[in-house]
Amino acid sequence: MSTAERIAPSYLEEGFSLRSWLGTRDHKRIAILYALGITFFFFLGGLAAALIRLELVTPAGDVLSAETYNKVFTFHGVVMVWFFLIPSIPATLGNFLLPLMIGARDMAFPRLNLFSWYLYIVGGLFTIACLLLGGVDTGWTFYTPFSTMFSNSNVMLAVVGVFVVGFSSIFTGLNFIVTIHTMRAPGMTWFRLPLFVWSMYAVALVMMLATPVLAMTLALIALERLFGVGIFDPALGGDPLLFQHFFWFYSHPAVYIMVLPAMGVVSELITAGVRRRIFGYKFMVWAIVGIAVVGFLVWGHHMFVSGQSMYAGIIFSILSFIIAVPSAIKVFNWTATLYKGDISFTAPLLYALGFVGLFMLGGLTGLFLAATALDVSLTDTYFVVAHFHYIMVGGSVMAYLGGIHYWWPKITGRLYSEAWARFAAILMFFGFNLTFFPQYVLGWEGMPRRYHEYLPQYQVLNVLSSAGATILAVSYLLPLGYLLWSLRHGARAGANPWNAQGLEWTTPSPPTLHNFEETPQVTGGPYAYEQP
């Protein structure tokens, strides 16, 4: 382990001034900058969620007025989607690990990388300004003509914020694509890439190809608000449905921006946790690519009841069923990887297993919604809310936290408290299910989403859900506590505390500025664990 000996200072010791951080080009420091921003927005969005759950404890709308409630759930959606979920894994773990995993010194475009972070922050400031000046009440989807003609809230500021942060993800995607294509170490062929890198490649493609459509659509909204005319204006013969097509052309692939990285993380976590080669590596790769490609062709399933043609509905429905196939392949392969594995229930593996279970439940209920006949009665009910929270919160957030735990020793050079981490992971799993499983039932029984009051018959399940949300909040605050504690008091981590495979574990913890003393030579595929 000659490379693991401390020769140069770690990236954290390269400079201690504020300037050395805010002007850094180092992908690892930029990842830390993102992590700070993302954590802030996660708890901000979580605060909005807490208000929503508080309001829904009683059937009457007593805590928040209807208008305020609209603003709160809009803020929750906008912040969680664009300022937490989309950048979460790619911008933090992806930025940190991508060059390390392929044996590169940095991203292809380090300055562009830093610029992306500044765009993220500027977009965030617009969103916070929007909140401080009274918020926005359109829902995170900005549906026309409400957003263009009728809403009296700060639509412009919110739209500008999302527009700006969109460029952050376009440039991040571009950087990833170029880095993976041109910066791989000698011998690191495409089919020797860790699955996390493959997931970053797929997600970068989606970011690059889908986000421009959102940006342009939001620009059209802004102009329509500004000048009072535009192509979505029904008075001129323009079509609000066209807006929905454009919006979901981005926003459905955006769901895969959120979940593909999670799948990549989980593949790393499971192989390291059970010390087994991934089952069906090539199937996993093609499943990632397949999800990214087919993900572009299913957006119409958000519009089954919006008035799109019946035939379009049928085609979108079939395509939505098809995309379940690669997702299922992944679940089967993760499960098969566990078989005869040397399973140790460390916190990262607990998170990963939690992901698989919750993702499966979220995915299967997605099939309910992909069925046109069933969707008519389930549209805009809590069934939909529960479905996408299972994927995004149960899936992506679990995987994100699992990844943070797994690579924490690499990022910080410290070990966290494993006992606390396991407790938090298990608490999170139960808290999550208590929060969101009742919402499936509520939706099935017909409770609509986006209202601040409801019929008294739904109260029991709503109280259960709010109670679960409290547990969930505790389980999110716990890692914040013990992870920060470990920065000062945690034991020092060696280069490879998990005894895991992967180039990132051949570098010292934390790595040096240029990651590798000399460019590594790759001679085999990933996950070369000894098979039993």
Partner 1 sequence: MSVTVRHLREQFDDAVQQREASTLGMWAFLTTEILFFGVLFAGYAFCRVMFPEAFAAASRHTDMLLGTLETAALLTSSCAAALAVREVQLGGRRAATWLLLATAALGSAFLVMHGFEYVAEYHEGLIPGLRYTQHGPHAASMQLFFCLYYFITGFHGLHVSIGVGLLLAMAWRTHRGAFDQDYHTPLELTALYWHLVDIVWIFVYPLIYLIGRAL
Interacting residues with partner 1 (CB under 8 A): 104-110, 170, 174, 177-179, 181-183, 208-213, 215-217, 220, 223, 226-231, 235-239, 242, 246, 514, 519
Closest CA to 27 of 102, 126, 79: 102
Closest CA to 515 of 131, 117, 31: 31
Tell me which amino acid residue 517 is: E
Strand partners, 10: 512
What is the rounded CA–CA span in Å between residue 381 and residue 505?
46
Q: Is the N-terminal amide bond of 510 cis, ω within 30° of 0?
A: yes
Closest CA to 182 of 111, 109, 119: 109
Q: Would you say 52 or 210 has its CB closer to partner 1?
A: 210
Give CA separation, 166 vs 35, 163, 171, 211, in Å: 18, 5, 9, 6
Q: Would you say 230 or 394 has its CB closer to partner 1?
A: 230
Q: Would you say 217 or 486 has its CB closer to partner 1?
A: 217
Minimum distance from residue 90 beta carbon to partner 1 (Å): 16
Minimum distance from residue 109 beta carbon to partner 1 (Å): 6
Residue 166 tokens read as 């969109």
Minimum distance from residue 34 beta carbon to partner 1 (Å): 19
Minimum distance from residue 304 beta carbon to partner 1 (Å): 20
Residues 268 and 284 sit within 8 Å (Cβ to Cβ): no
DSSP assignment string, 278-312: PTTHHHHHHHHHHHHHHGGG-GGGG-TTTT--HHH
Q: Would you say 3 or 335 has its CB closer to partner 1?
A: 3
Q: Would you say 239 or 453 has its CB closer to partner 1?
A: 239
Question: How many CB atoms neighbour CB 319 within 10 A?
Answer: 18
Minimum distance from residue 511 beta carbon to partner 1 (Å): 14
Minimum distance from residue 106 beta carbon to partner 1 (Å): 4
- Spacing of C-alpha 386 from chain mean position: 16
- Please list, in sequence order, all residues whose beta carbon lies within 8 angstroms of the beta carbon of residue 36, skipping any fewer than 6 positions away: none
- Look-up of token digits 């805590």: 63
Q: Would you say 106 or 137 has its CB closer to partner 1?
A: 106
Minimum distance from residue 254 beta carbon to partner 1 (Å): 14
Q: Would you say 242 or 338 has its CB closer to partner 1?
A: 242
Q: At what angle do helices 418-444 and 347-370 cross, to 10 degrees?
A: 10
What is the rounded CA–CA span in Å between residue 205 and residue 295?
12
Q: Would you say 178 or 471 has its CB closer to partner 1?
A: 178
Minimum distance from residue 94 beta carbon to partner 1 (Å): 16
Q: Would you say 106 or 268 has its CB closer to partner 1?
A: 106
Residue 381 has phi, psi (to 5 degrees) of: -110, 175
CB burial of 430-458 (b: ≥16 within 10 Å; e: otherwise) equals ebbbbbbbbbbbbbbeebebeebebeeeb
Q: Which alpha helices (DSSP H) does 228-239 contain, by range? A: none
Minimum distance from residue 177 beta carbon to partner 1 (Å): 5
Q: Would you say 236 or 314 has its CB closer to partner 1?
A: 236
Minimum distance from residue 505 beta carbon to partner 1 (Å): 21
First to last CA, the chain: 25
Minimum distance from residue 246 beta carbon to partner 1 (Å): 6
Q: At what angle do helices 324-338 and 347-370 cross, to 10 degrees?
A: 150
Q: Would you say 250 or 458 has its CB closer to partner 1?
A: 250
Closest CA to 349 of 436, 273, 262, 439: 273
Residues 481 and 424 sit within 8 Å (Cβ to Cβ): no
Tell me which amino acid residue 126 is: F
Q: Would you say 231 or 426 has its CB closer to partner 1?
A: 231
Question: How many CB atoms neighbour CB 219 within 10 A?
Answer: 13
Minimum distance from residue 57 beta carbon to partner 1 (Å): 42
Burial (CB < 10 A; 0-12, 13-18, 19+), residue 60, is exposed
Minimum distance from residue 295 beta carbon to partner 1 (Å): 15
Q: Would you say 184 or 277 has its CB closer to partner 1?
A: 184
Residue 274 tokens read as 């059970």
Question: How many CB atoms neighbour CB 101 within 10 A?
Answer: 24
